Structure 1
Amino acid sequence: MKYVTAVWDDGGFYVDPRPYLAELPKFRDRLPVGAREFASDPAHYALGYGNSRCVKDLELSGIHVATDKSGKMTLEFAPNQWKHDAGLRISYSGVTHFSIDYAHAIDWMLVDTVLLDEILPDEGGGCVHEIALTDASITVRCEDLRATWGDAS
Structure 2
Amino acid sequence: MQYVNLDAQVGDLSGVLSPSRCLEQLPSICGDLPPGARSFATDTDHYDFRSRRCVKDLTLRAVRGAGGEEVEVEFQHNCWKHDQDLLIRYAGVTSFIIDPADEDRGTDLGAVILDEILPHKGGCSHEIACWDGTLTIVCRDLQAIWTETVCSSKP
Distance 1:133 1:14 in 2: 15
TM-score for both structures, normalised by structure 2: 0.83
Among candidates 115, 118, 121, match of residue 116 of structure 2: 118
Task: Specify the code of the residue in structure 2 equivalent to 1:125.
Answer: G
Matched, 1:138 2:140: no
Greater RCO (Cα-Cα under 8 Å, separation 6 or more): 1
How far off its partner does 1:102 sit? Answer: 2.2
* 1:81-138 deviation per Cα after TM superposition (whole angstroms, max 9, x unaligned): 1000010000000000000112369x9xx8611100000000x220000000010010
Task: State whether residues 57 and 111 of structure 2, in contact with CA within 8 Å, keep that contact through their aligned partners in structure 1.
Answer: yes
Task: Specify the code of the residue in structure 1 equivalent to 2:58.
Answer: L
Matched, 1:57 2:74: no
Distance 1:17 1:42 in 2: 12
How far off its partner does 1:15 sit? Answer: 1.3
Q: How many residues align?
A: 142
Map of 1:97 onto structure 2: 95
Task: Specify the code of the residue in structure 1 equivalent to 2:118.
Answer: L
Map of 1:22 onto structure 2: 24
Structure 1's consecutive aligned runs of 4 or more residues displaced over 2 angstroms after TM superposition are: 102-105
Percent of aligned positions with the same letter in both sequences?
45
How far off its partner does 1:23 sit? Answer: 0.4
Unaligned runs of 5+ in 1: none
* 1:34-55 deviation per Cα after TM superposition (whole angstroms, max 9, x unaligned): 000000000000012xx11110
TM-score for both structures, normalised by structure 1: 0.84
